[in-house]
Chains A and B, each alone.
Chain A
Amino acid sequence: MIRYIIRRLLISIPILLIGSFACYVLVATAGNPLAEMRFRPGVTEADIRAAEISLGLDKPIVVRYWNWLTDFLSGDWGQSIALGQAKQAVFPAVTDALWTTGRLVIGAELLALTLGVSVGVLAAVKQYSIFDYLATSTAFLMFSMPIFCVAVIVKNYGIQFNNVLESMGLDRWLTTAGPRPGGFSGDLGDVIFKYTGTFLLPTVALMLISFAAYSRFERASMLEILHSDFVRTARAKGISQSRVVFRHAFRNALIPVATLFSLNFGAVLSGAIITETVFGWAGMGTLLVNSVRQFDPAMLMGWLAVTATLIVLFNLVADVVYGILDPRIRLG
């Protein structure tokens, strides 16, 4: 197992190198961070030239990539060079954003997984029941729903709910514009009030979407397995219906969904871009959108490198999980 993990990590190094080089070329050719400078009053050609040299933009792209890579690996992720903004070190900016996203996404994804799998299993076991029709059509609807509209709707009903609370003389509870800076303080009741208020809406928005995917997936794999030969064998043994469903069918249906979850997780950590945008969380998604808008190559490269690494890592996690859950797979 450990040897397999090490081997997989070694294999991912060239993929990451090629990927990061492709990204570097993409970012470098997509735009010139100094383009905006030209339109500023009082900026001369010499100024631009000086800026180019100070940023190393005059060198060939391979050299620039090499410099970026060595700096990146030695821990120097560079400075944000977006114009009109205070200079910002890339490393803390990306890790802060990752932390913000992580706080939001981990809970939401785990909840969505639990809920989605439970509903999927139940819908499969009670196939063609009213519950199944409800669950299936809800999932289908959510699946066809634009995520940003869901987020907008959730947010606005949250605001209306707050208005109702206020008209009743209570405090506004649900936060619709990002987490409060500096954590939560006060007595326990207060903390819970603020904490839930901060997380509830974006979590619900994220969950609604992921839940649909997980429940559809789980229902399909459960149905397939419930009709498989070995489940029939299990029924013929004279064991209870629930033992057939949970010990035999569910244990098998868990394998693909656990793999899917691990794969998804890496992608989700790269930012719940829409939820973050709508609810004003300064996470990975917001960082990407802002870096693209301001065309900030150093920040973009930092973002891409972290994201790609996360995805590679969680792909590995997915394979390891698969290997653990399925005795037919021997990692090595």
Chain B
Amino acid sequence: MTTVPELTEDFLPADNGSTAPLLSVKDLSVTFPTDDGDVRAVRNVSFDLNAGDVLGIVGESGSGKSVSSMAIMGLLPGSARIEGSIRYRGQELNGRTYKQMQPFRSKHIAMIFQDPMTSLNPVYSVGWQLAETYRAHHDVSKKAAWAKAVEALELVGIPQPDKRAAQYPHEFSGGMRQRVVIAMAIINDPSVIIADEPTTALDVTVQAQILDTMLRLQAETDAAIIMITHDLGVVAGMVNRVQVMYGGTVVESGPVDDVFERPRMPYTVGLLGSVPNPASLGKRLTPIKGAPPSLVNLPTGCSFSPRCPLVTDVCHEWEPHLEEAGRPDHRTRCHRWEHLAAHEQPQRLFLHDEIGTVENPAVFAAANPDESLEVTAVHGTLLDEESK
């Protein structure tokens, strides 16, 4: 555990001459002790975030992306061992108590959670919850806070905000609730917003609206955003930098176009190949075989080695470092990235026979890779008849 520097009540704005990034995470590792052994949820994750940045963190469930964000917020359970440093405007956050983190949450780093259906308190009105968030950091009357809440609801595009504020969460639809959650995240005008799968629980059409709202607010407030998602479509449309996580650590990072067009890590290739898109119509989907590693018994060497088509002996021996892969700012954690770069059609590395060809254009409606695979597999069986 790092020593905690003296706490300043108000975090100074960035323009005080210091060149420290807004948020700097260095060698962050999170371990949970369990009866079955230590779960190494996050290992050696580092990144910097500057004002106005939109960073995407991509990976399957269990890759450690949510745990990292909870570590930044200081919201992990007490049993979690958090190593490394998390600096906000140069001040160390790791090792702070709940109380020491309190003035910082929502005021400086706010969070948007995945499931809008469960992330609002069911027994208080939406306005009450927003006003509470505002009053936690501003010494104003309840009435003024309520007015601020109505204003925030209006900002995220909720019609009739003054009327809706008095309603309870169950009176809102999923998309509207997620707008409320976003309103709660922006009400204190934070410098960093961490959005943990903000659209996963929503319908596709609503997803687009929510992302649109977030982009608009980002442009208006100039907050930095960390967008955590497994949805590559979201990443492509929104972020400027992306980090791909696998087995609790970052396996590739760089500018989003670079990473998507010239992936330098076989896992990223596999991830991209698992998503149907119009360009691959008639071609085969190339999903990755196998399942993510157990975080208790990580494979020795590269954690992706058991599933990697390019695997060689060295991959089983030691885990590579995150190193620059040919282009500035594009890093990969792969022994074999040069082989990968030499490949004409890297997608074909993952070709195998179990999965059929994409025939049905309707598949593209669902950007979620898991869902779309299901659609291709089950269409038109007796079951559909029965469930009607």
Per-residue 0/1 for B90-118: is the Cβ within 8 Å of any A Cβ (1 yes, 0 no)? 00000000110111111100110101001
Interface of A is mostly: helix
Determine if B295 is an interface residue (Cβ-Cβ < 8 Å): no
Q: In the complex the two chains form, what is the Cα distance from A255 to B120 in whole Å? A: 17
Kindly identify which residue among B113, B133, B168 contacts A229, using a CB–CB cutoff of 8 Å: B113
Give the chain B neighbours of A236 by CB distance below 8 A: 73, 75, 105-106, 110-111, 113
Beta-carbon contact of A229 and B115 below 8 Å? yes
Determine if A238 is an interface residue (Cβ-Cβ < 8 Å): yes
Residue of A nearest to B116 (CB): A229
Kindly identify which residue among B119, B121, B137, B181 contacts A238, using a CB–CB cutoff of 8 Å: B137
Say whether, besides A233-B181, A238-B107, A240-B102, A327 and B123 are in contact (CB < 8 Å). Answer: yes
Give the chain B neighbours of A239 by CB distance below 8 A: 102, 132-133, 136
Interface of B is mostly: loop
Q: How far is the CB of B162 from chain A (nearest CB, A)?
A: 19
Interface centre among B106, B107, B188 (most CB of A within 10 A): B106
Per-residue 0/1 for A245-257: is the Cβ within 8 Å of any B Cβ (1 yes, 0 no)? 0011001100100
Determine if A171 is an interface residue (Cβ-Cβ < 8 Å): no
Give the chain B neighbours of A251 by CB distance below 8 A: 121, 123-124
Q: In the complex the two chains form, what is the Cα distance from A235 to B132 in whole Å? A: 12
Q: Which of A297-332 contact B (CB under 8 A)?
A: 325-328
Give the chain B neighbours of A232 by CB distance below 8 A: 75, 113, 119
Q: Which of A240-269 contact B (CB under 8 A)?
A: 240-241, 247-248, 251-252, 255
Size category of the binding interface on chain B: 20 to 34
Beta-carbon contact of B102 and A238 below 8 Å? yes
Give the chain B neighbours of A234 by CB distance below 8 A: 121
Give the chain A neighbours of B121 by CB distance below 8 A: 230, 233-234, 248, 251-252
Q: In the complex the two chains form, what is the Cα distance from A233 to B129 in whole Å? A: 10
Beta-carbon contact of B119 and A229 below 8 Å? yes
Beta-carbon contact of B170 and A327 below 8 Å? yes
Beta-carbon contact of B98 and A233 below 8 Å? no
Give the chain B neighbours of A233 by CB distance below 8 A: 111, 113, 119-121, 181, 184
Give the chain B neighbours of A241 by CB distance below 8 A: 98-99
Beta-carbon contact of A238 and B132 below 8 Å? no
Determine if A32 is an interface residue (Cβ-Cβ < 8 Å): no
Q: In the complex the two chains form, what is the Cα distance from A233 to B124 in whole Å? A: 13
Closest 8 CB pairs of A and B: A238-B105, A229-B118, A238-B106, A229-B119, A230-B121, A327-B168, A237-B133, A239-B136
Known: A236-B73, A251-B123. 10 other contacts (CB 8 A): A228-B118, A229-B118, A230-B121, A232-B113, A233-B184, A236-B75, A237-B132, A247-B132, A252-B121, A327-B122
Complex A-B: 21 CB contacts under 8 Å: A229-B119, A230-B119, A232-B113, A233-B120, A233-B184, A237-B106, A237-B132, A237-B133, A238-B102, A238-B104, A238-B107, A238-B133, A238-B136, A239-B136, A240-B99, A241-B98, A251-B124, A252-B122, A255-B123, A327-B170, A328-B168
